[in-house]
Amino acid sequence: MGFNNGLLSNTDNSNWRTGILGNSIFFDGVIENGSIAGLDDDLNGIDELTISVWYNMSDTGNGLLIHDFDGGGFHATFLEVNPDSIHALTENSICDIGGAQTDISGGATFLKDRWYHLVVVYNVSGVFTWINGTFIGTTTCVGGTGTYPGAQGQDFTIGSTSSGTGNFYFTGRIDELGMWNTSFGQLEVDTLWNDGMGIAFGNEGSPLIINLNEPADGLTTNNASIIFNVTLIPQGGFDLVNGTLKIWYSNLTLFTAESKLISGSGSNTTTFNISNIMTGNYIWTMEGCTDSSIQKCDSSTINRTFTFVPFTENDFNFNLTVLETSTQEITLTVTTNTGINIQGADLIYDGFIFSNADRIQFNGNTFNLTKQIIVPQVPQGSGSENKSFFFNITVVNEGTGQTLIVQSSTQNQTVNELDFGFCSDALRVPVLNFTMKNELDGLEINASSNRTTFQETFNIGITEENLLKNFSFNNIYENSSRYNFCTNDN
């Protein structure tokens, strides 16, 4: 939008209050506001606009954040916030969305003494709204061609209608207000929102907005060459000079830093192709520099991670649903990169370590890793529980002798609770059978005329291991001489 100086009216140092980042400006809702000269010229003829601002209301009255007014009949509301609505780009601004009362907040309610991040974007498709990083919706422009005549003889004001009127003064704090003559999307909004932390911008030699596009955060790959894609957006009207991709090992030792010369004052997307990546975990980010009286360089506010593994997972073989205490076999088949051997593997199942998986090598560089386990119990009465697991695989670089433990992908298995009782539709797997007989003659008791009583405690497990569950049956009376006990099948 160019570089414009601002002027605060009826304020002093006491108006600097704690902001979302550092200090913010407090407006008292009575006589205080700010003005910016030159924005009329910067807005004239544009067909795209983005406004981003953090604000914190001290009361629940109406308040104009950005306004243009000539003291007579011309006025344009660029941004107005209220406890139950947001109005933007109404009346004589670059896009009339249907009058001063058109709400673009999606019906949200805004509380006092709480920080909110608001982004409003205009382009030929309409007006787009984000609140606290979340896309709210699109509003159609009723009129406006992007040609903005401006309020002649008056500056833009922040915090009220104009420097000469007393209407709609904003009460509260405003921080990190920015306007760009381009339309931002979700990536740029995510950068500005920064998980509720915000980013700093807007002064001479101002920081860049840097979007890390690709690869996605947390990427796991066996490709030793990775393409990195980033977008740099300079602020303050300055030109880009260069951009540097920086990659660190997980211990924060620098792996590589590759720079490119970049020029222009607009958004710039560039790529870096990084090769010869070794096995391990990495952190990466982007730094960019703008050309001003003093060169200013800034890094992305967000770092991303990726992992290079020297093998491809071909198949993870296991039962999706199992019973607690049962014996289960889990197999992972992988094909390693050239020059990589697998020394061994441990299965990590729900936090338990099952060491020394069986290792079978076939077809040169393909391996089967298999571990048989007794499935741990789930909490009594839970019914079922999801368990996650993965292999920690020890790989060896045959050329260098380097040994490294690499984690496989994480899988999930549903573990059902083992149940035991009288056979029924739910309990169908026979386990025990008791027949009541007369001790004197050895004949089966006629339970229809002589009810039987059963009392016993069992320790039951699916395997021969000592992982057992306790079931008690006390003084059960039945008109039956036979007691059949079953478990559930899965």
Per the structure, the complete domain to which residue 373 belongs is given by 311-416
Using pLDDT thresholds of 50, 70 and 90, give the confidence band for residue 5: very low
My answer on whether 239 and 350 are in the same domain is no
CB 423 within 8 A of CB 430: yes
Q: 167, 196, 225 — which closes off a domain?
A: 196
Using pLDDT thresholds of 50, 70 and 90, give the confidence band for residue 162: low
Determine, yes or no, domain membership for 204.
no
Higher pLDDT, 316 or 145: 316
Q: Are strands 156-158 and 33-36 parallel, antiparallel or unpaired?
A: antiparallel
Determine, yes or no, domain membership for 203.
no
First to last CA, the chain: 65
Determine, yes or no, domain membership for 158.
yes
Q: 308, 334, 356 — which closes off a domain?
A: 308
Determine, yes or no, domain membership for 201.
no
CB 76 within 8 A of CB 68: yes
What is the number of residues in the chain?
490
Would you call 452 helix, strand, or coil by DSSP?
A: strand
Q: Which of 53-57, 82-86, 139-143, 293-297 has the highest mean pLDDT?
A: 53-57
Residue among 181, 175, 230, 217 at smallest CA distance from 198: 175
Rounded-to-integer distance, Cα 92 and Cα 43, Å = 12
Sign for the CA dihedral angle at 420, 423, 425, 428 comes to: positive
Determine, yes or no, domain membership for 367.
yes
Cα dist from 459 to 141, 155, 198, 463, 483, whole Å: 73, 84, 58, 12, 17
Whichever domain contains 334, its CATH number is: 2.60.40.10
406 pLDDT higher than 60: yes
Whichever domain contains 186, its CATH number is: 2.60.120.200
Determine, yes or no, domain membership for 384.
yes
pLDDT at 37: 42
Residue among 79, 152, 91 at smallest CA distance from 119: 79
My answer on whether 99 and 186 are in the same domain is yes
Which of 81-95, 366-380, 435-449 shows the lowest mean pLDDT across its residues?
81-95
CB 119 within 8 A of CB 49: no
Residue 357 forms beta bridges with which residues? none
My answer on whether 325 and 349 are in the same domain is yes
Token pair for residue 435?
Answer: 């027949």
My answer on whether 10 and 103 are in the same domain is yes
Phi, psi for 26 (deg, rounded to 5): -95, 130
My answer on whether 121 and 135 are in the same domain is yes
Residue with tokens 């870096």: 272
Token pair for residue 202?
Answer: 């807007």
Q: 278, 308, 338 — which closes off a domain?
A: 308
My answer on whether 181 and 223 are in the same domain is no
Query: What is the per-residue pLDDT across 244-262, written as a single tens digit (0 to 9) for each?
Result: 999 998 888 889 999 998 8
CB 351 within 8 A of CB 403: no
My answer on whether 341 and 439 are in the same domain is no
Residue with tokens 């030699």: 205
Token pair for residue 206?
Answer: 């101002």
Whichever domain contains 294, its CATH number is: 2.60.40.2550
370 pLDDT higher than 90: yes
Residue with tokens 């920690």: 392
151 pLDDT higher than 50: no
Per-residue pLDDT averaged across 222-237, rounded?
87
Neighbouring C-beta atoms of residue 418, cutoff 10 Å: 21
Determine, yes or no, domain membership for 450.
yes
My answer on whether 317 and 293 are in the same domain is no
Using pLDDT thresholds of 50, 70 and 90, give the confidence band for residue 442: confident
My answer on whether 471 and 412 are in the same domain is no
Residue among 35, 26, 77, 78 at smallest CA distance from 56: 26
Per-residue pLDDT averaged across 364-390, rounded?
91
Query: What is the per-residue pLDDT across 282-304, written as a single tens digit (0 to 9) for each?
Result: 999 998 887 644 456 777 878 99
pLDDT at 144: 53
Sign for the CA dihedral angle at 395, 400, 401, 405 comes to: negative
Rounded-to-integer distance, Cα 393 and Cα 370, Å = 12
CB 357 within 8 A of CB 347: yes
Rounded-to-integer distance, Cα 39 and Cα 66, Å = 11
What pTM, to 2 d.p., does this model score?
0.46
Whole-number CA gyration radius for the chain:
34
My answer on whether 252 and 346 are in the same domain is no
Angle at 209 between CA 208 and CA 215, to 5 degrees: 120
242 pLDDT higher than 70: yes
Residue with tokens 């007579």: 72
My answer on whether 322 and 444 are in the same domain is no
204 pLDDT higher than 50: no
426 pLDDT higher than 80: yes
Determine, yes or no, domain membership for 289.
yes
Distance of CA 346 to the CA centre of its chain: 30
Rounded-to-integer distance, Cα 269 and Cα 180, Å = 17
My answer on whether 64 and 184 are in the same domain is yes
Rounded-to-integer distance, Cα 243 and Cα 69, Å = 41
List, as one string, the DSSP characters of 360-393. Answer: EEETTTEEEEEEEEEPPPPPTT--EEEEEEEEEE
205 pLDDT higher than 60: no
Which of 120-134, 279-293, 456-470 shows the lowest mean pLDDT across its residues?
456-470
pLDDT at 465: 56
Contacts of 414 (CB under 8 A, 6+ apart): 320, 321, 322, 384, 385, 386, 387
Per-residue pLDDT averaged across 355-360, rounded?
95
Q: How many domains does the chain have?
A: 4
Q: Are strands 321-323 and 411-416 parallel, antiparallel or unpaired?
A: parallel
pLDDT at 294: 42
Rounded-to-integer distance, Cα 268 and Cα 213, Å = 12
Residue 453 forms beta bridges with which residues? 477
List, as one string, the DSSP characters of 328-366. Answer: EEEEEEEEEPTTEEEEEEEEEETTEEE---EEEEETTTE
